[in-house]
Amino acid sequence: MPCLPTVPAVAVQFTILGSGSGGNCAYLETDQTRILIDAGFSARQIRLRLAAIQRSPETLQGILITHEHTDHVQGLAVLCAKLQIPLYCNRLTKEALAYQLQGRFDCRLFVTGADFEVGDLAVETFSVPHDAQDPVGFLIRTPAGNVGFLTDLGHATKLVIERVKPAQVLLLEANHDLKLLQEDTKRPWSVKQRILSRHGHLSNDAAAAAAEQIVSGHLRQLYLGHLSRDCNRPELAHRAVAGRLRQVGACHVRVETTSQDAASPTLAL
How far apart are the C-alpha atoms of 251 and 246, rounded to whole Å? Answer: 5
Burial tier of 58 (Cβ tally within 10 Å: 0-12, 13-18, 19+):
exposed
Nearer Cβ to Zn ion (144/263): 263
Shortest distance (Å) from residue 199 CB to Zn ion: 10
Q: With DSSP H G I counted as helix, E B as strand and the rest as coil, what are the percentages for the chain, rounded to 5?
A: 30, 25, 45
Shortest reach from residue 130's CB to Zn ion, in Å: 6
Q: What is the largest CA-CA distance in the chain?
A: 67
State yes or no: residue 69 binds Zn ion (CB under 5 A).
yes
Nearest to 211 by CA among 159, 253, 267, 153: 253
Query: Inter-axis angle of helices 76-83 and 43-51, to 10 degrees?
Result: 70
Whether 122 contacts 171, CB under 8 Å: no
Q: Does 152 bind Zn ion (CB under 5 A)?
A: yes
Cβ-based nearer residue to Zn ion, 29 or 152: 152
Instruction: Choose between 26 and 245: whose C-beta lies nearer to Zn ion.
Output: 26
Residue facing Zn ion at closest CB distance: 69
Stretch that binds Zn ion, among 71-79, 107-115, 181-189, 231-239 (CB under 5 A): 71-79
Stretch that binds Zn ion, among 7-15, 70-78, 106-114, 261-269 (CB under 5 A): 70-78
- Minimum gap (Å) between residue 34 Cβ and Zn ion: 23
CB atoms within 10 A of CB 264: 20
| In the complex, minimum distance from the CB of residue 21 to Zn ion, in angstroms, rounded to a whole number | 6
What DSSP element (H or E) covers 107? strand 107-109
Whose Cβ is closer to Zn ion: residue 69's or residue 176's? 69
CB of 131 to Zn ion, least distance (A): 7
Q: Could you say which of 29, 38, 71, 177 contacts Zn ion (CB under 5 A)?
A: 71
- Least CB distance to Zn ion at residue 202 (A): 11
Q: Give the residues lining the site for Zn ion (CB under 5 A).
A: 69, 71, 152
